[in-house]
Amino acid sequence: MKTVKVVAAVICDSIKEKNKIFATARGYGDLKGGWEFPGGKVEEGETSQEALVREIQEELDTLIEVGPYIDTIEYDYPTFHLSMDCFYCEVKEGHLELKEAEAAKWLTKDNIDDVAWLPADVTLIDKIKADMN
């Protein structure tokens, strides 16, 4: 099975506080409409952090600061294996403008379970909730 190496940004209102996190609804493909943490594929020669900065610039027209590493999610979808490095991030410059996603919202600890997370992303939710205020 083919492995796809990706990165995901858990964008917080503040890396220190973590009162709210930013989630997007996928705007294309088989998983369209499912909620996820924004990010994308790591290109040849890039570190995970470099890929994250590039992907968020492309997808959300926003410059982020990549903060602490959270986890690497390993998940088998029917047609590929996903290996996803996840990091806390915060906005340095820009306004999180949706260029690929169909929707987005800021979620708190109280409503983080209210969206239909994609299977790989949902495995991260308990860890994030434990870190949120």
Q: What is the pLDDT of residues 83-128, one digit of tens each?
A: 999 999 999 999 999 999 999 999 999 999 999 999 999 999 999 9
CATH class label, 3-131: alpha beta
State the sign of the Cα–Cα–Cα–Cα dihedral 21, 25, 27, 30. Answer: positive
The pLDDT, as a whole number, for residue 35 is 98
Strands 62-76 and 39-41: unpaired
From residue 104, alpha-carbon distances to 2, 46, 72 in Å are 29, 27, 23
The pLDDT, as a whole number, for residue 29 is 86
The pLDDT, as a whole number, for residue 4 is 96
Higher per-residue confidence, 132 vs 27? 132
Joined together, the tokens standing for residue 117 give 């997370």
pTM confidence score: 0.95
The pLDDT, as a whole number, for residue 8 is 98
64, amino acid identity: I
| Domain-wise residue ranges, the chain | 3-131
The pLDDT, as a whole number, for residue 117 is 98
Q: What is the pLDDT of residues 27-72, one digit of tens each?
A: 888 889 999 999 999 999 999 999 999 999 999 999 999 999 999 9
The pLDDT, as a whole number, for residue 30 is 84
The pLDDT, as a whole number, for residue 116 is 97
